[in-house]
Amino acid sequence: MRRRLLALILGLSMMTGCGARRDAQGAAPEAGPSRETSAGVELAEAIQAFTLLRKLDDAWRDRDCAAVGRLTTWAENALGGRACEATRNGRPAPARKSYTEAEFYLPGTADSDRWFVALAREPDPAYFLFVHEGGEWRLGAGPIPIRGEVREPTEGAVPTDDPAMGVRARLVPQRYLTYLTDPAGVSGVTFPKDDPVRDLFDELVRRPQKVRPDRLTADVRLLVGPQRALRLPDGGALVIHALELEYRQRARSGRSSLAHPIYGKADLRGFTGRARAAELTGTEIALVATEIAGTGAKLTTAGLRRGLATLTTG
């Protein structure tokens, strides 16, 4: 059951739910730093943490990679390191939107792991995962653009040791890995026909054919991180997780450069300082928000975003 958060907060409108909606201008109150010893996350604390998105936008615009590193963790930190440095070599910085109308879902965990999920409504619905680490709030993942109908979580995290939904939520990343590395489909893991992870599967299968005579191989790995899952109203769960996609492309024997490089010139020059290469290795991060049905084994990708984290040449 949801709880009503009533807060007289400057610039905020009130809503019923386990979160609170910011106004259209995205105003936020001043709030003191959170306490490392407090397991729960308070609403005012979450609202204040959401304002770091503006600081992160400024850091990317100014190519301040040290600030990008301080303001991020986990998946966003992986997407900010070498990728930020590449913008100093001419690679365009990622386009960033100013997100407002945020609702906050506070998991109420009883341990020292402090995190929350924000759902920003404008300009387009997207999930954000914030994590308290090193005494500061940092962006762990986001934006993860939401596709289709927006599902609002209910109050509370899914415990990892829950014998039913907790186990199912914990296995979600592994099921994605199994699906993407099983071209014969013998595992039995399936997704709806319009699910974006099916497009990713098709890419992994077909891309090597499209870049011939170059040789292309791909690996898919799980991006290591703690379990993050919120309950959904139907008894299911919303799981935030991430994958690593590694592409290795090599020119045909006798050629000094790739015939069909899978990454553009701006990426190649920004990451490596070179205009051409005979081989390259690119690592992408895919941020995923997955819905688990309350009954049955159905998985649905609620949102997915990919970004290039590293690119090296041989």
Q: How far is Cα 162 from Cα 181, in angstroms, rounded to an integer?
A: 28
Q: Quote the pLDDT of residue 200.
A: 96
Do you find a cis peptide bond into 123, omega within 30 degrees of 0? Answer: yes
Q: What is the pTM of this model?
A: 0.85
Question: Exposure pattern of 217-230 as b/e (b: 16+ CB <10 Å)?
Answer: ebebeebebebbbb
Contact by Cβ (8 Å): 233, 150: no
Q: Quote the pLDDT of residue 126.
A: 96
Per-residue pLDDT tens over the stretch 66-94: 999 999 999 999 999 999 999 998 899 88
- How many C-beta atoms lie closer than 10 Å to residue 147's C-beta? 16
Q: Nearest to residue 171, comparing CAs of 84, 229, 123?
A: 229
- How many C-beta atoms lie closer than 10 Å to residue 72's C-beta? 25
Structure confidence at residue 214 as a pLDDT band (50, 70, 90): very high
Structure confidence at residue 107 as a pLDDT band (50, 70, 90): confident
Per-residue pLDDT tens over the stretch 5-64: 322 222 333 232 333 333 333 333 333 333 333 467 889 999 999 999 999 999 999 999
Residue 228 has pLDDT above 50, yes or no: yes
Q: Nearest to residue 106, comparing CAs of 7, 193, 184, 11?
A: 7
Q: Quote the pLDDT of residue 17.
A: 33
